[in-house]
Amino acid sequence: MKFEELSLKPEILKALVELGYSEATEIQSKCIPIVLSGKDIVGQSQTGSGKTAAFGVPMLNVLTPGKGIQAIVLTPTRELAVQVFDNIRSMGKYTGLKMACVYGGVSLEPQTDALRRADIVIGTPGRVIDHLDRRSMNLTNVKYFVLDEADRMLEMGFVDDVVTILKHTPKDRQSLMFSATMPSQIRAIIQRYFNNPVPIKGQAQVDTKLLKQVYYNVKPEEKFSLLLYFLKKHQGISVVFCATREESDAVAANLEREGVNVMAIHGGLTQNKRLQVVEMLKSKKITTIVATDVAARGLDIKDVSHVYNYDVPKSAEDYTHRIGRTARAGESGDAITLLTHKDFDNFDRVLRDRSLKITKEQIPADMPMVRFDRGMARRSFGGHQGRNFTNRGGRPQGGRGRFGGGRGGGSSRSGGGGYNGHRDSEGGSSERRSEGRSEGGEGRSHGGGHPPRRGFSGHNRR
């Protein structure tokens, strides 16, 4: 469907043409007419599907400049808030509508000044509540309430904040939600605060026929060497996922030492530095980012050829989010998981999703061993200059238990065994430790844990 067929104002169509938009994506074609009709919607769609325009275009088409804050868009992270702000501002540049972007980690005062003139606000929940508490934001005239990446907000502990913000808006507002998954707490919000929403589901953005998913059993001392081997061998843009900020910094610093054009992105960096990393990747001044899940969520990075799970995610859902950054728009992609003994539990939880087809590969025989210095200071990227991360976020552990599989013939090394494709058939909790609100710039953290490993025998656990 062409945008000209959607009954949009000329000034919006003009901006869309300048941005190179002609054909609406699937989620846009489904959402825009329904939003223009005044109905609530609940959309399931992945990052990169064009959902910002799906809610931004009809919102811009209806709002009138100078009547106070008429729309609020909540996002889980600063990066996504800035990205949505930039996109909506570009699409609405001829409408006369004023916009404000509010998030933590920066001064309140410039945001307060922008809010006085704003028609549309995009922000993270914690900072929005800061402004509500200070009475620098008034939501009584809101016509549109948009919740983007709702499932990630749940994981980051924002549900109570979202409900608080909803209570500051009029009951007759139009509510729009987008989420890759629909956990029970999200469904509860929909049931209580939405008015007969229309469900809209976009097709999966990842073409599984073009996505190759593999894992490698490695000793802890081999892990970095294998990552470096692949990054130097493969062309294109790569995203490397690590579990913690400290591990992201250490991996990026060691990769830079070995000549890889790389930067790390996580909640410990200043906002300006995080935005700089994103811009450098988009302009291809760097080809690799090392990221935590929360910092990477919502970043629409084009043309990713390889996704590396340097640390295994804690659930199949997080794994799916990660690999969803490659094999898009008819292009092939690779998702590579580097598996050490400490990752067994997490990998078992990933494999509970029977739809995932992850095959085992052997470590290349020509892989050179490279020293990994966990204590390297991150002097190149700022944010952690001079800090020492020794023994944080992934201390090497001995033995590979049942997850072995050496080079070539698959014989075990250093204790043998290895991951043999076992799937944990017992239920158990999938409780996870979120990286917390501090990754989203709100400065709070939420604990948690993960269940004891089940289904593996013959190994001592300490």
Question: Does residue 300 sit in the same domain as residue 397?
Answer: yes
**Mean of per-residue pLDDT scores for the chain:** 80
The answer on 418 and 339 residing in a single domain is yes
216 or 460, which is more confident: 216
pLDDT (0 to 100) of residue 148: 92
Name, in order, each residue with C-beta under 8 angstroms of 406's C-beta and a sequence gap of 6 or more: 362, 363, 412, 413
* Domain limits for position 370: 211-430
3-state secondary structure of 212: strand
The reported pLDDT for the residue numbered 295 is: 61
Tell whether 445 is covered by a domain: no
Residue 452 lies in a domain: no
Examine the fold and report which residue of 133, 167, 201 is the final residue of a domain before the chain moves on: 201
The mean pLDDT of 342-347, rounded to a whole number, is 92
Same domain, 217 and 181: no
Task: Report the pLDDT averaged over residues 38-65.
Answer: 88
Q: What percent of the chain has pLDDT over 70?
A: 76
Confidence of residue 403 (pLDDT cuts 50, 70, 90): very low
336: nearest Cα among 219, 420, 211, 206:
211
**For residue 275, which of 454, 444, 86, 428 has the smallest C-alpha distance?**
86
> For position 48, what pLDDT does the model report?
60
Q: Which of the four pLDDT bands, split at 50, 70 and 90, describes residue 401?
A: very low
The answer to whether position 164 is within a domain reads: yes
Query: Highest mean pLDDT range out of 109-118, 244-253, 259-268?
Result: 109-118
In whole angstroms, give the CA distance from residue 224 to residue 369: 9
For the ranges 35-44, 367-376, 439-448, the lowest mean pLDDT is seen at 439-448
Q: Both 164 and 182 in a single domain?
A: yes
Within this chain, do residues 196 and 225 fall inside the same structural domain, yes or no?
A: no
Please tell me whether residues 171 and 251 are part of one structural domain: no
Whether 238 and 308 map to the same domain: the answer is yes
Residue 459 lies in a domain: no
pLDDT reading at 448 higher than 60: no
pLDDT at 429: 31
Give the residue-averaged pLDDT of 451-457: 34
Please give the average per-residue pLDDT across 203-232, as a whole number: 86
Domain harbouring 43, CATH code: 3.40.50.300
Task: Tell me if residue 304 falls in helix, strand or coil.
Answer: strand
Please tell me the distance from the alpha carbon of residue 328 to that of residue 25, in angstroms, as a whole number.
13
Specify if 291 maps to a domain. Answer: yes
Distance CA 229, CA 227 (A): 5
Is 395 within 8 Å of 388 (Cβ atoms)? no
Q: Looking at the structure, tell me whether residues 228 and 377 fall in a common domain.
A: yes
CA distance 460 to 56: 54
Which pLDDT score is estimated for 180? 76
**Each residue of 146-155: pLDDT tens digit?**
999 888 888 7
Which of helix, strand or coil describes residue 240? strand
Mean pLDDT of the 315-342 span: 82
More confident residue, 343 or 398: 343
pLDDT surpassing 90 at residue 359: yes
State what percent of residues in the chain have pLDDT above 90. Answer: 53
Average pLDDT estimate for 166-176: 97
How far is residue 174 from each of residues 70, 71, 340, 348, measured CA to CA in Å? 11, 9, 48, 41
What's the longest Cα–Cα distance across the chain?
71
pLDDT digits (tens, 9 = 90+) for 273-293: 877 887 888 888 999 999 988
In a domain, 232, yes or no: yes
The answer, yes or no, to whether residue 221 has pLDDT greater than 80, is yes
pLDDT computed for residue 301 by the predictor: 73
Confidence band (pLDDT; 50, 70, 90) for 7? confident
Q: Which residue has the higher pLDDT, 147 or 386?
A: 147
Q: According to DSSP H, which parts of 203-324 are helical?
A: 220-233, 245-257, 271-282, 293-296, 316-323
Is 137 a member of any domain?
yes
Spatial CA neighbour of 324 closest among 195, 163, 202, 198: 202
- Of 147-151, 204-208, 446-450, which gets the smallest average pLDDT? 446-450
How far apart (Å, rounded) are the C-alpha atoms in residues 307 and 325? 7
User: Among residues 201, 229, 249, which one ends one of the domains?
Assistant: 201
Q: Are residues 368 and 222 in the same domain?
A: yes
Whether 59 maps to a domain, the answer reads: yes
| pLDDT number for residue 412 | 36
Res 443: pLDDT? 38
Q: How confident is the model at residue 322 (pLDDT cuts 50, 70, 90)?
A: confident
Give the chain's domain count: 2
**Prediction pTM value:** 0.64
- Beta-strand relationship, 211-217 and 333-339: parallel
Whether residue 173 sits in one domain with residue 268: no
196 with 71, same domain: the answer is: yes
pLDDT of residue 298: 57
What does the pLDDT read at residue 328? 64
Residues 57 and 146 in one domain: yes
Better-predicted residue by pLDDT, 218 or 354: 218
Confidence of residue 459 (pLDDT cuts 50, 70, 90): very low
Please choose, from the candidates 142, 211, 152, the residue with its C-alpha nearest in 3D space to the C-alpha of residue 180: 152
Q: Give the model confidence (pLDDT) of 113-126 as tens digits.
A: 999 999 999 999 99
Could you say which of 148, 174, 201 is where a domain stops? 201
